[in-house]
């Protein structure tokens, strides 16, 4: 007997460890609420008594502690659904749980579906006709809750029971819980007369729905919750559109759906602001009239688990401020630092003017950050898969910035003048404008140039902001701008620092001329990015740059007292320069080659989700580099860490595959992958290990030693 008991305990322990708890066939009587440190639960009836030959509703009531959550029938990327094993009187039969519409709970790179606070899970229980009025029956269940926070998951199993009287006539609602259970039943998703079809192409799932409650309606948002895990990428953005006959949603297909296809269709809940319904979409053409009229939102933003929304917001704001400060040290901001240095040198002799210039620069930075953020959020709400730095994915913007940097450099070299204050460089304002206005436009240019880069902490803040309600998201972007501008503003308001700067004199002209060279460097870098985007169109940009320089030289000659003939020639040159610039900006984008031709670069292959899965199935680790030619930080990491002989040897030793996701031009698949990992821009470095579901995210600033060590750890057994 002792041996039998020992084996029984051993089986139970092993079952718990492997996530398959062994359930007892009889449960200990436990009336009333039962609780652990994480959850309190009880069985509560909707009616005051059960009627023979009818159906009674018994709900599993959960009161979940703050910071914890339980799960829907499809938990999403992690967790497990609530399960109940019923112990009922003879003749009583329990049905399936009626699942309320779940919350979307984002946890770093994961998206889960579940519940927090208080939730009722109603269960229909058939009462046999042989039940006798006047008796009381005991309904019991052993219920397993997977209760999780952002740090751990705990399987809590509670033994619950409730005594239910049997009576005649329609029972009134239970005075404590009846109304709440009734609301859950009324609002829970139910099957409806909706016709749905789905198609799967190139890893994209499109679902169209018409008829039934959708006919003649105009929902404002829509979201699809699949019943089965692995059907979609839960964390990726869903794009919804409304048409005259219904609506359609576009989603990233999950691994499970890619493996088995759509032969059996796909089932789930179609949720809108007008209601939620269970649908089954069979494979077929998407019905006409389900898109085109309006782009819909996706409902309330995902909740961040592991704390209150306000706590997550405060963390994002703090990370944004720190990330903005660190952004001043990133290579992409060097040209902006040159403009700041020139402005400080000019304003050092007048503290009052210095303070005005500091506030003007701060205003320019904040206004531009909010404008870019508002545009980004609006486009993403409209279904566009874009991220931070999206402006440099347009060859037209890249060409315009290259020519602007050239003009700024020529101005700092003294070729022409555009204003009395050095803060005006880069603003393009006419001579005589206020220095505050010039500082404002310097701030505008600073953000446009610096925005494509992300710094440590900044990426986490951006990723969190893009799943927050828009007021919170804009506040995060404002803090990013404040961090970027804060050092300049503090210096502008510090008389002690200003007093240590040299007095204005002839040295300032030499200093300004010297600072022109970072601007020329920025122009060359942007021209290189333009060439990678458009190929042969670089010649057009060179012609536009030459004509622009000639025009500005003529303008400078006129400003220095030249004759009217020079002005006339300058006007003619400007007329010729304009079309050249337009042609350069309209150059069509081309796909950049993924294989590097640089002899020092690692041999790579293009990134795709399918390629990663194939390599992992072969037992090979995968190092993924999401990069862009306009990301200076990316290029420095590639030369300093990824192109080294040590990294190449580590890749060979571990039999790893090196993949590159090139985001130089817009790529929706890469944008969705960045979002899935809580990022909105590059660089992003992922290291996949065979046998592990999620990759390891490497730091944004790489060293050879860090990469080699991370690769070596993929071959170690857990």
pLDDT tens digits, residue range 133-163? 999 999 999 999 988 877 677 888 999 999 9
Question: Residue 71: which pLDDT band, with cuts at 50, 70 and 90?
Answer: very high
End-to-end Cα, the chain, rounded Å: 36
**What is the model's pLDDT at position 9?**
38
Q: Which residues contact 525 (CB under 8 A, 6 or more apart)?
A: 632
| Band of residue 429 on the pLDDT scale cut at 50, 70, 90 | very low
Instruction: Provide the residue ranges of all domains of the chain, joining segments of one domain with +.
Output: 23-187, 191-304, 309-585, 605-713
Mean pLDDT of 67-81: 89
pTM above 0.85, yes or no: no
pLDDT of residue 694: 83
For residue 18, pLDDT over 50 is answered with no
Task: Answer whether 23-187 and 191-304 agree in fold.
Answer: yes
Of residues 483 and 62, the one with the higher pLDDT is 62
Compute the mean pLDDT over every residue in the chain, rounded to the nearest whole number.
77
Distance between CA atoms of residues 476 and 484, nearest Å: 13
Beta bridge partners of 58: 45, 123
Class in CATH terms, 605-713: alpha beta
pLDDT at 272 over 50: yes
Question: Which DSSP category does 641 fall into?
Answer: I
**CA 91, CA 88: separation in Å to the nearest integer?**
8
At 590 the pLDDT is 43
Select, from the ranges 98-107, 161-170, 530-539, 545-554, the one with the highest average predicted confidence (pLDDT).
161-170
| Tokens coding 193 | 């007369």
Average pLDDT rounded to a whole number, residues 211-237: 89
Largest CA distance in the chain: 114
Residues 171, 47 contacting (CB under 8 angstroms):
yes
Cβ atoms of 234 and 77 within 8 Å: the answer is: yes
Give every CB contact of residue 614 below 8 A, 6+ residues apart in sequence: none
Q: Which residues contact 661 (CB under 8 A, 6 or more apart)?
A: 606, 607, 624, 625, 626, 627, 667, 670, 673
Give me the pLDDT at residue 715, please: 80
Q: Considering the domain 191-304 in this protein, what is its CATH number? A: 2.60.40
Query: What is the distance between the alpha carbons of residues 257 and 252, in angstroms, rounded to a whole number?
Result: 10
Check residue 535 and give its pLDDT.
Answer: 61
- Give φ, ψ of 501 to 5 degrees: -75, 145
Task: Compute φ and ψ for 248, nearest 5 degrees.
Answer: -140, 150
Residue pLDDT, tens place only, 404-421: 778 777 877 777 765 433
- 47 vs 339, more confident: 47
Number of C-beta neighbours around residue 653 at 10 A? 12
Give the pLDDT score at 390.
52
**CA nearest to 154, candidates 60, 75, 68:** 68
Q: Which of 446, 462, 347, 357 is nearest to 405 (CA)?
A: 446
Residue-level pLDDT at 98: 95
In contact, 227 and 277? CB cutoff 8 Å: no
Mean pLDDT of 16-23: 38
* Cβ-based neighbours of 603, under 8 Å, separated by 6 or more: 595, 658
pLDDT digits (tens, 9 = 90+) for 243-264: 888 999 999 888 888 888 898 8
What is the rounded CA–CA span in Å between residue 405 and residue 137? Answer: 82
457, pLDDT greater than 60: no
Q: How would residue 239 be classed by pLDDT, with cut points 50, 70 and 90?
A: confident
pLDDT at position 572, please? 60
pLDDT at position 385 is 46
Asked whether residue 657 carries a pLDDT value surpassing 60, the answer given is yes
pLDDT at residue 435, as a whole number: 65
Indicate the pLDDT class of residue 454, thresholds 50, 70 and 90.
low
302 has a pLDDT exceeding 50:
no
Rg of the chain taking only CA atoms, in angstroms: 32
Ranges 98-102, 278-282, 567-571: which has the least confidence? 567-571
Q: What is the mean pLDDT of residues 298-311?
A: 51
Tell whether the model's pLDDT for residue 589 goes beyond 60: no
Average pLDDT over residues 204-214: 92
pLDDT of residue 701: 72
Who's near 39: CB < 8 A, 6+ residues apart?
A: 62, 63, 64, 65, 68, 70, 145, 147, 156, 158
2.40.50.100, 2.60.40.1250, 3.10.129.10, 3.30.470.20: CATH of 23-187: 2.60.40.1250
313 or 119, greater pLDDT: 119
- Where is average pLDDT lowest: 198-212, 471-485, 556-570? 556-570
Lowest-pLDDT range of 17-31, 495-509, 512-526: 17-31
pLDDT (average), residues 520-527: 76
pLDDT band at 177 (very low <50, low <70, confident <90, very high): very high
390 against 480, higher pLDDT? 480
Which positions ≥6 away from 279 have C-beta within 8 Å?
192, 194, 196, 209, 267, 268, 269, 270
Residue with the bigger pLDDT between 266 and 571: it is: 266
pLDDT band at 379 (very low <50, low <70, confident <90, very high): low
- Poorest-pLDDT segment among 111-125, 430-444, 599-613: 430-444
Q: How many helices (H) and strands (E) does the chain have?
A: 20, 26
Q: Return the H-helix or E-strand segment holding 483.
A: helix 470-492
Task: State the angle between helix axes of 645-653 and 704-713 in degrees (0 to 180), rounded to the nearest 10.
Answer: 0
């Amino acid at each position: 007997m002792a041996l039998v008991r020992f084996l029984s305990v051993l089986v139970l322990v092993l079952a718990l460890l492997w996530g398959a708890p062994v359930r007892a066939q009889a449960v200990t009587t436990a009336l009333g609420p039962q609780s652990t440190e994480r959850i309190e639960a009880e069985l509560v009836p909707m009616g005051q008594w059960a009627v023979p030959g009818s159906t009674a509703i018994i709900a599993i009531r959960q009161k979940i502690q703050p910071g914890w959550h339980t799960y829907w029938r499809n938990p999403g990327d992690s967790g497990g659904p609530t399960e109940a094993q019923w112990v009922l009187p003879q003749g009583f039969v329990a049905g399936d749980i009626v699942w309320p519409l779940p919350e979307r709970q984002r946890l770093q790179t994961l998206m889960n579906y579940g519940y927090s606070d208080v939730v009722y899970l109603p269960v229909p229980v058939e009462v046999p006709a042989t039940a006798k009025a006047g008796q009381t029956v005991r309904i019991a269940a052993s219920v397993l809750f997977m209760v999780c926070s952002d740090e751990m998951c705990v399987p809590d199993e509670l033994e619950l029971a409730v005594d239910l009287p049997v009576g005649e006539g329609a029972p009134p609602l239970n005075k404590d819980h009846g109304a709440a259970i009734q609301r859950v039943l009324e609002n829970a998703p139910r099957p409806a007369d909706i016709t749905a079809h789905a198609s799967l192409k190139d890893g994209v799932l499109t679902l169209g729905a018409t008829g039934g409650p959708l006919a003649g309606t105009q929902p404002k948002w829509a979201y699809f919750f699949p019943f089965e895990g692995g059907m979609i990428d839960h964390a990726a953005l869903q794009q919804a559109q409304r048409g005259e006959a219904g609506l359609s949603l576009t989603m990233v297909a999950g691994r499970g759906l890619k493996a088995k296809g759509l032969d059996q269709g796909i089932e789930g809940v179609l949720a809108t602001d007008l209601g939620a319904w269970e649908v089954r979409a069979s494979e077929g053409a998407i019905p006409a009239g389900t898109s085109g009229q309006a782009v819909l939102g996706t409902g309330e933003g995902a909740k961040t688990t592991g704390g209150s929304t306000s706590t997550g917001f405060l963390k994002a704001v703090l990370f944004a401020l720190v990330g903005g400060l660190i952004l001043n040290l990133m290579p992409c901001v060097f040209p902006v630092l040159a403009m700041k240095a020139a402005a400080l040198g000019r304003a050092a002799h007048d503290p009052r003017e210095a303070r005005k210039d500091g506030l003007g620069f701060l205003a320019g930075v904040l206004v531009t950050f909010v404008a870019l953020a508002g545009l980004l959020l609006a486009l993403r709400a409209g279904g566009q898969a874009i991220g931070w730095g999206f402006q440099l994915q347009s060859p037209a913007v890249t060409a315009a910035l290259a020519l602007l940097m050239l003009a700024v450099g020529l101005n700092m070299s003294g070729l022409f003048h555009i204003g009395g204050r050095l803060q005006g460089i880069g603003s393009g304002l006419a001579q005589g404008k206020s220095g505050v206005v010039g500082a404002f436009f310097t701030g505008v240019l600073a953000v446009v140039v610096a925005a494509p880069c992300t710094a440590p902490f900044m990426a986490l803040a951006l990723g969190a902001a893009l799943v927050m309600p828009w007021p919170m998201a804009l506040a995060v972007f404002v803090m990013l701008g404040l961090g970027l501008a804060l050092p300049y503003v503090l210096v502008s308001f510090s008389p002690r620092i200003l007093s240590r700067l040299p007095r204005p004199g002839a040295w300032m002209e030499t200093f300004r001329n010297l600072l022109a060279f970072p601007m020329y460097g920025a122009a060359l870098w942007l021209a290189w990015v333009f060439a990678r985007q458009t190929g042969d169109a670089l010649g057009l940009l060179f012609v536009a740059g030459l004509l622009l320089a000639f025009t500005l030289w003529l303008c400078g000659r006129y400003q220095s007292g030249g004759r009217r003939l020079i002005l006339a020639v300058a006007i003619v040159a400007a007329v010729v320069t304009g079309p050249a610039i337009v042609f350069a900006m309209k150059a069509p984008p081309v796909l950049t080659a993924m294989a590097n031709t640089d002899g020092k670069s690692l041999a790579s292959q293009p990134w795709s989700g399918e390629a990663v899965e194939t390599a992992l199935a072969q037992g090979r680790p995968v190092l993924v580099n999401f990069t862009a030619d306009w990301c200076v930080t990316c290029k420095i990491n590639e030369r300093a860490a990824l192109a080294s002989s040590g990294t190449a040897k580590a890749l060979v030793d571990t039999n790893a595959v090196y993949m590159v996701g090139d985001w130089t031009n817009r790529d929706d698949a890469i944008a969705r992958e960045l979002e899935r990992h809580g990022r909105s821009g590059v660089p992003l470095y992922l290291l996949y290990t065979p046998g592990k579901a999620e990759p390891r995210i490497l730091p944004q600033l790489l060293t050879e030693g860090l990469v080699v060590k991370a690769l070596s750890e993929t071959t170690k057994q857990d």
